[in-house]
């Protein structure tokens, strides 16, 4: 297995968070994901989508009536400035600080920030250092 190459888009099809206050979560995620140029779409029937992320209310047809527990989600940033902007947007929309932007000891160049979303999920945004992407995103045509 190659250890100097990161692959994205192969492991997770989607992640769902079932939240207490869908409107508060949508406001929060619209703000922070706009910093990453990720649109929020599909805001009908008690849920919204943003790429692989599904956020729904407990009474949505996509949920089982039970809130999900506390999760850690990490979003990719294109540079340190994006990490800083994401963190600022999160705090401006009611996110709570869980670790300000800065270098982390995980590996050299790992620059990240952590916030708690309205439901207490640990949301990270990380810049792993300079890298060349093979494509800006993966598309699947049906």
Residue for token pair 């890298």: 131
Residue 138 lies in a domain: no
| Distance separating alpha carbons of residues 137 and 111, to the nearest angstrom | 22
In a domain, 2, yes or no: no
Whether residue 7 is contained in a domain is answered as no
pLDDT value of position 1: 44
- Total domains in the chain come to 1
- State the alpha helices, DSSP H only, in 49-127: 80-92
pLDDT at 8: 61
Domain hosting residue 114, numbered range:
14-58+69-130
pLDDT at position 100: 98
Whole-model pTM over 0.85: yes
pLDDT of residue 5: 64
Whole-angstrom distance, CA of residue 43 vs CA of residue 121 = 20
User: Per-10-residue mean pLDDT for the chain, 142 residues long?
Assistant: 60 90 96 95 86 93 88 95 98 97 94 97 94 75 75
CATH number for the domain that contains residue 32? 3.10.180.10
List residues bridging with 18 in a β-sheet.
56
- Tell the residue number behind the tokens 């300079």, with chain if given: 130
């Amino acid at each position: 297995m190659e250890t100097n190459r990161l692959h994205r888009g192969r492991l997770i099809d989607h992640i769902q968070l079932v939240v207490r206050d869908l409107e508060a979560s949508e406001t929060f995620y619209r703000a922070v994901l706009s910093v990453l140029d990720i649109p929020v779409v599909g805001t009908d029937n008690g849920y919204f989508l943003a790429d692989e992320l599904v956020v729904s209310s407990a009474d949505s047809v996509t949920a089982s009536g039970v809130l999900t527990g506390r999760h850690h989600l990490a979003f990719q940033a294109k540079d340190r400035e994006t990490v800083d902007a994401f963190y600022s947007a999160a705090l401006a929309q009611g996110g709570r600080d869980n670790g300000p932007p800065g270098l982390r000891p995980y590996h050299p160049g790992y620059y990240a920030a952590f916030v708690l979303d309205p439901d207490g999920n640990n949301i990270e945004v990380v810049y792993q250092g300079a890298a060349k992407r093979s494509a800006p995103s993966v598309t699947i045509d049906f």
